[in-house]
C-alpha cells in the first residue's frame, strides 16, 4: 500500500549507525535470584541475549515471569506483593509463609564502558565514572509476610559492587526500569484478547488517527483466525496493509504501541540491509509471513495501547508463543522476533522453536520441594564437532526429545519403532512417562550422553552384542561413575535386537517372513533366517510383525532383558534428576 493511498507521508527511516548505537546501550539483565516467591523456595536463573526456558508445568516458569514482571513493571508503579505471592510449604494456602520474599536482579555491561553512552540519571552516583571492567547494577527487592488480605509494599535498594552508595529512591528505580522496559506477552496473547476483555469487545482507547486502522486490523484479524472469512487472501492482504500503515506512523505521532511494533519491523528490515524503497515489499512474501506481521501488530495494539515502549531498549518476555498458532505462522512470528537485538526470554513447549534455538541459549528447569534448578549446556562442555552433530540431530530431527525426562539411546530404526510398543505391553506409555527413544548413529553416542548430563536428562543405553555394540557399551561405562551399571547400560548378549527376539521365542516370526520351511531336525542358522526375512521385507516391517506377535494371546511375552531395561528407564524418568546438581552449582551425585 503506497503512502499516497492514505494521504500520509511515510517517515524516513533512521540510518543504521544510529540504530546500532541505540540498540547497544540497553541495560542487559544477567541473572535473577528468587527466595520464597510463589512456587519457588529458592532459585537462580542466568540469561543470554536470547534465553529459551523449557520445563514441565510445575517447574516454576510462570513464577519466574511474575517475579520479573513485579520487579520491572511500569516505572511509575513501585513493586507490591499480595498474600498469594508468598511461598508456603506444600503449596497450601492455609500454611504460613516460610519467610520474606527476596528478588535479586543483576544487570551487567557486556563490555567495559558500554553504559557510558546512556542517560543514567539517578543511577549515576552508584557507578564508577570510568569503567576499567564491566560494571554491574544490582536491584534487590524484599517483602515481609503480612495478613492474608493485606497488600505489602516492597522495600528495594539499588547498588553496584565495589561502591558504598545505595539507593532506595523511587526515581532511581524508575530510571532503572526505563532502561530495561518490560514487554510481556502471556501464553495465547498473540491470538487472545487481554485479561478481563471479551473477544468481541472494542480495542482499548487509541489516538484518533490510529483508531480506524486498529479497528480495521482487528476486524480482518478476527475474520481470519475465526475461519468466518470467505475471501481469506483479500482479508489477509487488507489486514496486512493496515498493519504496515500503523507501523509507518510510529515516527509521526509517537504513539507507544505503534512505536514498539514499528521498531520491531524497522530493526528486522535494517538487519536485512533493506533500503527505504524496499520497505513495503519486505514482507510481501508468503501468507504465513504476512499473517505473522498481522498477528504481532494486533497483539501489541491490544495488550500495550498506552505503554511507553518506543525505541528498541526493552526486555521481551514471551510465554508459550506457539499457543493456537499453525506451525508455519509460528515460524514466521519467531523469525521476526529472533532478528531483534532486544533481550528475549521465552518459555516454550514447541519443538519448532527449539529447532531454531542455539543449544547454549536453552535452560531446562526442574523444581523439587520448591528448589528451582536450571540445567544448561555450558560453553566448553561440548566440542565444536559435537555441537555441529547435535545441532542437526537433536534440535532439528528430534527437538521434542529435549522435553523428555529420560533418553533411551538406541542404535537403529528397529529399536526406535519397537520399544515404545513393547513398553505398552509392559503397562507403560513412554510419552506419558517422559521417556524418549533417541537414535545415536547420526550424532554419535558421546555428544548425546554429554548433552543429557548437561540438561539434567536421565539416560540409558541399549547396545547390541556384536563388536560395535561392545564398543558403545565401553564408551557408556566411562560415564557411569559410581552408579550401578545396569542403571545406565543394557548390553544384549545376542548379536542384535532381532537375535534377542529369536532367543526369547520369536523364531517363527522370522521363519514365516523369510518363507522357509522349518527343518525336521530343528537346526537352522538364526542369522541366515533373520537376514533373509529383512531382505524380503524391511526392518520397520519386521518390527511391526514382532509387535503383533508380542501382543498376541499366545505370545512368549516381552524378552526379559528388554523388559528389565524398560522398567529401569521408567524408574529413572520418575525419579528425574532431583538427586543430582547442575554442573555449575554443585558436584554431581547419586
Query: Do residues 572 and 579 touch, judged by C-beta distance below 8 A?
Result: no
Q: Find residue 181's DSSP bridge partners.
A: 314
C-alpha dihedral, 58 to 60 to 62 to 68, nearest 10°:
180
Asked if residue 285 has pLDDT above 60, the reply is: no
Average pLDDT, the chain: 78
Q: Which CATH entry fits the domain spanning 26-184: 3.30.360, 3.40.50, 1.10.10, 3.30.1460? A: 3.40.50
Please tell me the distance from the alpha carbon of residue 506 to that of residue 546, in angstroms, as a whole number: 8
Could you tell me the CA-to-CA distances from 49 to 122, 207, 558 in Å, in that order?
26, 33, 48
Return the minimum-mean-pLDDT range out of 9-18, 143-152, 362-371.
9-18
Closest listed residue to residue 172, CA positions, set 64, 78, 65? 78
Asked if residue 311 has pLDDT above 50, the reply is: no
Give the distance, in angstroms, between the CA of residue 291 and the centroid of all CA atoms in the same chain: 22
Query: Do residues 536 and 513 touch, judged by C-beta distance below 8 A?
Result: yes
pTM over 0.85: no
> What pLDDT is recorded for position 204?
44
| Residues 542-581 pLDDT 10s | 999 999 999 999 999 999 999 999 999 999 999 875 455 6
Strands (E), 314-451: 314-319, 343-347, 362-368, 371-375, 406-410, 435-439
Kind and range of the H or E run holding 264: helix 256-271
| Residues 10-34 pLDDT 10s | 333 333 333 333 344 568 999 999 9
Three-state DSSP at 567 gives: helix
Closest listed residue to residue 328, CA positions, set 295, 364, 359? 295
> What pLDDT is recorded for position 129?
75
Most trustworthy range by pLDDT among 177-186, 256-265, 531-540 = 531-540
> What pLDDT is recorded for position 17?
34
Q: Find residue 556's DSSP bridge partners.
A: none
> What pLDDT is recorded for position 191?
52
Number of Cβ within a 10 Å radius of residue 545: 18
Most trustworthy range by pLDDT among 257-261, 289-293, 473-477 = 473-477
Percentage of residues of the chain with pLDDT beyond 70: 68
Asked if residue 437 has pLDDT above 80, the reply is: yes
Asked if residue 416 has pLDDT above 60, the reply is: yes
Listed by start position, the domains of the chain span 3-18+194-341, 26-184, 381-575
When pLDDT is averaged across residues 249-268 and rounded to a whole number, the result is: 45
Amino acid at each position: 500500500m503506497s503512502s499516497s493511498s492514505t494521504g500520509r507521508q511515510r517517515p524516513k527511516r533512521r540510518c543504521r549507525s544510529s540504530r546500532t548505537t541505540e540498540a547497544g546501550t540497553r541495560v542487559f539483565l544477567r541473572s535473577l535470584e528468587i527466595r520464597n516467591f510463589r512456587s519457588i523456595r529458592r532459585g537462580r536463573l542466568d540469561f543470554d541475549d536470547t534465553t529459551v526456558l523449557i520445563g514441565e508445568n510445575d517447574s516454576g516458569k510462570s513464577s519466574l515471569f511474575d517475579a520479573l514482571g513485579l520487579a520491572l513493571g511500569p516505572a511509575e508503579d513501585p513493586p507490591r506483593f499480595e498474600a498469594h505471592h508468598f511461598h508456603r510449604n506444600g503449596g497450601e494456602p492455609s500454611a504460613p509463609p516460610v519467610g520474606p520474599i527476596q528478588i535479586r536482579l543483576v544487570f551487567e555491561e557486556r563490555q567495559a564502558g558500554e553504559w557510558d553512552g546512556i542517560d543514567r540519571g539517578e543511577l549515576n552516583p552508584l557507578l564508577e565514572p570510568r569503567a576499567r571492567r564491566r560494571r554491574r547494577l544490582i536491584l534487590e527487592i524484599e517483602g515481609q509476610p503480612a495478613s492474608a488480605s493485606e497488600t505489602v509494599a516492597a522495600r528495594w535498594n539499588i547498588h553496584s559492587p565495589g561502591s558504598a552508595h545505595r539507593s532506595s529512591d523511587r526515581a532511581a528505580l524508575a530510571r532503572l526500569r526505563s532502561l530495561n522496559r518490560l514487554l510481556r506477552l502471556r501464553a495465547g496473547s498473540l491470538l487472545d484478547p487481554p485479561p478481563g476483555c471479551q473477544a468481541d469487545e472494542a480495542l482499548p482507547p487509541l489516538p484518533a488517527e490510529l483508531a480506524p486502522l486498529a479497528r480495521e486490523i482487528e476486524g480482518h484479524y478476527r475474520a481470519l483466525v475465526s475461519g468466518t472469512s470467505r475471501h481469506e487472501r483479500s482479508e489477509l492482504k487488507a489486514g496486512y496493509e493496515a498493519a504496515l500503515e500503523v507501523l509507518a506512523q510510529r515516527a509521526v505521532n509517537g504513539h507507544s504501541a505503534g512505536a514498539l511494533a514499528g521498531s520491531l519491523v524497522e530493526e528486522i528490515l535494517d538487519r536485512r540491509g533493506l533500503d527505504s524503497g524496499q520497505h513495503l515489499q519486505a514482507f510481501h512474501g508468503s501468507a504465513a509471513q504476512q499473517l505473522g506481521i498481522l498477528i504481532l501488530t494486533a497483539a501489541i495494539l491490544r495488550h500495550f495501547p498506552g505503554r511507553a515502549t518506543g525505541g528498541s531498549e526493552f526486555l521481551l518476555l514471551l510465554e508459550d508463543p506457539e499457543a493456537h498458532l499453525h506451525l508455519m505462522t509460528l515460524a514466521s512470528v519467531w523469525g521476526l522476533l529472533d532478528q531483534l537485538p532486544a533481550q528475549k526470554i521465552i518459555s516454550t513447549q514447541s519443538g519448532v522453536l527449539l529447532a531454531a534455538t542455539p543449544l547454549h541459549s536453552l535452560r531446562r528447569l526442574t523444581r523439587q520441594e520448591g528448589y528451582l534448578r536450571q540445567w544448561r549446556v555450558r560453553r566448553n562442555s561440548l566440542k565444536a564437532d559435537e555441537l555441529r552433530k547435535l545441532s542437526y540431530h537433536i534440535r532439528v530431527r528430534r527437538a521434542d526429545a529435549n522435553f523428555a525426562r529420560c533418553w533411551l539411546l538406541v542404535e537403529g530404526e528397529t529399536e526406535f519403532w519397537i520399544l515404545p510398543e513393547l513398553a505398552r505391553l509392559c503397562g507403560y506409555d513412554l510419552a506419558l512417562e517422559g521417556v524418549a527413544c533417541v537414535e545415536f548413529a547420526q550424532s554419535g553416542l558421546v555428544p548425546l550422553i554429554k548433552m543429557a548430563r548437561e540438561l539434567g536428562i536421565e539416560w540409558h543405553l541399549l547396545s547390541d552384542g556384536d563388536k560395535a555394540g561392545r564398543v558403545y557399551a565401553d564408551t557408556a561405562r566411562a560415564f557411569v561413575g559410581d552408579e550401578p551399571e545396569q542403571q545406565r547400560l543394557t548390553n544384549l548378549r545376542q548379536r542384535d535386537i532381532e537375535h534377542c527376539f529369536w532367543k526369547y521365542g520369536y523364531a517363527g516370526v522370522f521363519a514365516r517372513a523369510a518363507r522357509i520351511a522349518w527343518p525336521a531336525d530343528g537346526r537352522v542358522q538364526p542369522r541366515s533366517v533373520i537376514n533373509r526375512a529383512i531382505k524380503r521385507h524391511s526392518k520397520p516391517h519386521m518390527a511391526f510383525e514382532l509387535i503383533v506377535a508380542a501382543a498376541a494371546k499366545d505370545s512368549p511375552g516381552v524378552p526379559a532383558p528388554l523388559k528389565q531395561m524398560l522398567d529401569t528407564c521408567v524408574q529413572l524418568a520418575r525419579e528425574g534428576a532431583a538427586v543430582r546438581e547442575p554442573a555449575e552449582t554443585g558436584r554431581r551425585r547419586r
